[in-house]
Amino acid sequence: MISLKNVSKKFSTKQGTIVAVDDVNLDIKKGEIFGIIGYSGAGKSTMIRLLNGLEKPTSGQIIVNNKEITSINEEKLRQVRQKVSMIFQHFNLLWSRTVAENISFPLEIAGISKVERFARVKELLELVGLDGRGDYYPSQLSGGQKQRVGIARALANRPEVLLCDEATSALDPETTDSILDLLVSINEKLGLTIVLITHEMQVIQKICNRVAVMENGLVVEEGDVLEVFQNPQQAITKRFVSQVSETNQAKQTIQNLGELYPNGKLIKLVFVGDQTEQPILSRLIKQFDLEVNIVQGNISHTKSGAYGTLILQLDGDAKAIDEGIRFIHEQKVNTEVINND
């Protein structure tokens, strides 16, 4: 659906040349929810403007739905943009227009008849959960409702790609979850390809199939969300994963484990997918006659499956402990010995 080949974007300033996107290669599949995550200045906002043709790359190729948008003329680019819609952090609604008129606006521009516009707006209001609010003005809506209007408006012309630029950053956690659930529903019902720009790993965790991590204009890591959670490679990726996989209390506990649990062995287990549902601990206790103390645990759910960490204190015969750890390895659970007593 979307392919970037050696794409770079440079800006000339009085202070010199800024490389916002640096030789990026990405392939985004049709119908998936793809996340691009990075901190401020990483280049992700420039990236999303490249995807809809608002910015031209300095070098490289961008292909959207089999059309290379880096070399086509303005007329053909406008045709491509009709199938690539966007929602924004601050909604960008027309405050003097009603909800229905906001949603209808792109249909008016496209020359759609009034009867067709009315029917499409009604359909979209139901889709985004705003049925009965067509005559409201944006000032009468909550933040989440405003974003639902933005989503409905973006869907008016039946796009094939939806770009989301920090679409939940201005919302509280509960509202964020409801908007993310709506995006998943739209993705499943319409088969829409969604590209989501964010600095929040919780957003990636909840709805994305795959993720690219950006830093200083570079894509430093990419993969299935579950795999990235399981085995982050780069320091920045580990920071993002720790946002949802470890609490501050857990980090402090890990730092002081030697003092808190001086006996036996402390081990850290990483469970992925179906492993989180296996009765490994009960089998460990029964088969090896060990005392097993759960020191700390956490399970995070991604769109592709669950990811969990568990820290255990194993106490008992030294040989039985070693056999128990070997048993856990055989269950294909990543295991790290934190201390050796």
Q: What are 115-126's pLDDT values in tens digits? A: 999 999 999 999
Determine the 3-state secondary structure of 287 from DSSP.
helix
Longest dimension (CA), the chain: 80
Residues 84 and 142 in one domain: yes
User: What's the CATH code of the domain at 190?
Assistant: 3.40.50.300
Residues 72 and 132 in one domain: yes
Give dist(CA 271, CA 231) in Å, integer.
Answer: 11
> Which of 264, 214, 262 has its CA nearest to residue 240?
214
CB atoms within 10 A of CB 221: 19
Give dist(CA 229, CA 308) in Å, integer.
Answer: 9
Residues 305 and 211 in one domain: no
Phi-psi region of 23 (alpha: psi -120 to 50; beta: other; left: phi over 0): left
N-to-C CA span, the chain: 54
Residues 228 and 253 in one domain: no
Residues 253 and 223 in one domain: no
Q: Judge whether 244 and 307 are in contact, CB under 8 Å.
A: no
How many residues are present in the chain?
341
Determine the 3-state secondary structure of 124 from DSSP.
helix
Phi-psi region of 108 (alpha: psi -120 to 50; beta: other; left: phi over 0): alpha
Query: Can you read off the two tokens belonging to residue 233?
Result: 């490679």
Q: What are phi and psi of 61, to 5 degrees?
A: -125, 140
Residues 99 and 149 in one domain: yes
Residues 125 and 44 in one domain: yes
Task: Name the packing angle between helices 173-190 and 143-155 (round to 10°).
Answer: 20
Tens-level pLDDT at each residue, the chain (341 residues):
899 999 999 999 888 999 999 999 999 999 999 999 999 999 999 999 999 888 999 999 999 988 888 888 888 888 888 889 999 888 899 999 999 999 999 999 989 999 999 999 999 999 999 999 999 999 999 999 999 999 999 999 999 999 999 999 889 999 999 999 999 999 999 999 999 999 999 899 899 999 999 999 999 999 999 888 878 899 999 888 877 765 444 554 555 665 666 677 888 887 776 655 667 888 888 888 888 888 877 777 777 777 777 888 888 888 888 888 888 888 777 787 876 55
Q: pLDDT tens-digit profile of 153-180? A: 999 999 999 999 999 988 999 999 999 9
Q: Of 209, 228, 244, which residue is a domain's last?
A: 244
Give dist(CA 294, CA 313) in Å, integer.
Answer: 6
Going from the C-alpha of 239 to that of each of 39, 79, 242, 243, the distances in angstroms are: 11, 40, 5, 7
Q: Of 244, 270, 289, which residue is a domain's last?
A: 244
